[in-house]
Structure 1
Amino acid sequence: MVKVSCCWLYAISKYGYPPNLDNMFKALKEISEMGFEYSEVEALGYDNLKEILENKRRLKEHVESLNIRIINVCPIFHDIISPDEVARRRALKAFSETCELAVYLNSQMVQTDTFTPPLRFISDVPYKDAISFGKIFKVDVDLDFNWRLFWRILVDSMRKCNWIAEDYGLKFCLEPRVGESVSNTDAMLRLAEAIDSENFGVVLDTGHLHAQKEILPLSVEKLGELIVYVHASDNDGRDNYHLGIGRGTIDWIGVLKALKKHGFKGYIGLDIGHVPNIEKEYVESKVKLERLIEEVEL
């Protein structure tokens, strides 16, 4: 039976982007108290990574005391797609250090983002200082921006991330996100073809893809066995809100049946954020999702 895990968006929603170490410990305790046995953790930026690495033994002991298994570690370093080669090298080094942390925490997977291209925004920049949903983005076209050149940089960096992860014995995965370089299923398929590795996998993020009017069972059909993990949240298909299961219009039975068809055996992470009574939403959504999983015998 497929297991339900808790995504790090819970911690970010409660304690900021990123949560400091003390709040990270609090979030993990709360995740355990909500009944989860599986969770993500995230290292966002160099300072956050440094703090976590300096306290990795405490973190591991804390996780073990809660009987939680870390199933995904997310190295989030925006410079990994920077046009500046020196900045990219620094980000890749931090990515490698986070992979070492993932092995230490007994995770089998690492996940990063494709981030926002270096466009000139005249509105909020997606996910720069906070993870917010339902935003309107405005861009002043930069005459110096070249998509083909940027795509080559993106592919090169993601290939290197995959190689690093594979060297550590870790699966490497990415998710499509509204406002980022790879924002939909077909773009992710293009990137997967360019990376060309059996070690690479895709995170099916229902909240982001549904907000882009994708037919989610068709998204599963397109990605097939590339899907190694699911981020589950609901919305109305208009904005990329990350609501509890059943709070939107997603056809969950259709999604789960499609996953079953393609032999999905990974984790489904509840990815709910910035909602009232967040603990209640997670607990209720876990019950709903586990019932649906049982119903389709996934």
Structure 2
Amino acid sequence: MKISCCWLYAISKYGYPPSIENTYRAVKEMKKLGFEYIELEGVKEKNLNEVYQERKGLKKYCDDLGLKVINFCPVLADLVSLDKAKRKKALQLFDRAVEIANYFYCETIQIDSYIPSLKFEGEVPYKEMISYGKQFQVVIEPQFSWEHQWNAIVESLSRCNEKAKQADLKMCLEPRVGENVANTDSLLRLFDRIKDGNFGAVLD
């Protein structure tokens, strides 16, 4: 069994996403906590590219500390956008995430299902830090189609899984409250559509 320190430690302490400087701090603290395995994250295009540019330094730092990055989490909400151009750009960024994961010799690459393409009144889930106990309100416009949303999810995640598999990475998805895949039932429906043993779940 491998027990890993998740990146929530870093973002809870240093913000979302943490700067590269604070990323180094968080990694060092994870080692001090006694972990041998950790994960890293790249949030949206800017932070993902920062992690990519710093990958050599971060890899050496982890190696020197005796840490193994076992999982990489690219946070790319446009993977499930109803806008095909945005999905295409997000898939290109996912390619970069796969490259990062392989550079660190990760075993898995992890994604989320993100929030539906709806308008939120007030706060939006997971926009910044994770907050608990909040209620959110949405406006469902007449033209919104859940079928179109679900098909976009299946299409993008299927392609992500194929990219991961070609790179010898397992892909996993974390169901989260308020997102497109929020519970066991929706996760099982997704598995019905993406029938591949390479694709699994994070059982938080």
1:55 positional shift: 1.3
1:123 positional shift: 2.7
Contact 2:95 2:163 in 1 (8 A): yes
Q: Matched residues in 1 for 2:86 and 2:174: separation?
A: 23
**1:25-63 deviations in Å (ceiling 9; x for gaps):** 100000000101111100001110111111111010011
Does 1:198 find its partner at 2:181?
Answer: no
Q: Matched residues in 1 for 2:97 and 2:62: separation?
A: 17
TM-score (norm. length: structure 2):
0.98
Residue in 2 that maps onto 1:185: 184
1:132 positional shift: 1.7
Stretches of 4+ moved more than 3 A in 1? none
Contact 1:70 1:106 in 2 (8 A): yes
Contact 1:17 1:131 in 2 (8 A): no
| Structure 1: segments with no counterpart, 5+ residues | 206-298
Contact 2:12 2:129 in 1 (8 A): no
Residue in 2 that maps onto 1:161: 160
**1:151-181 deviations in Å (ceiling 9; x for gaps):** 0011001101100100111000001100000
Identity %: 46
| Structure 2: segments with no counterpart, 5+ residues | none
Summarize the alignment of residues 226-241 of structure 1 with structure 2, pairs less than 5 Å apart.
none
Q: Matched residues in 1 for 2:78 and 2:86: separation?
A: 6
Q: Matched residues in 1 for 2:34 and 2:89: separation?
A: 38
SS across alignment from 2:129: coil
SS across alignment from 2:116: coil
**1:109-156 deviations in Å (ceiling 9; x for gaps):** 000000000111113111012222221111122112110111001100
Does 1:95 find its partner at 2:90?
Answer: no
Residue in 1 that maps onto 2:18: 19
**1:189-224 deviations in Å (ceiling 9; x for gaps):** 11011011111111101xxxxxxxxxxxxxxxxxxx
Q: Output the aligned Cα RMSD.
A: 0.9
Residue in 2 that maps onto 1:121: 120
TM-score (norm. length: structure 1):
0.67
Count of residues paired in the alignment: 204
1:81 positional shift: 0.7
Does 1:134 find its partner at 2:133?
Answer: yes
Q: Matched residues in 2 for 1:38 and 1:129: separation?
A: 25
SS across alignment from 1:17: coil
Residue in 1 that maps onto 2:173: 174
Q: Matched residues in 2 for 1:164 and 1:134: separation?
A: 36
Q: AA paired with 2:62?
A: V
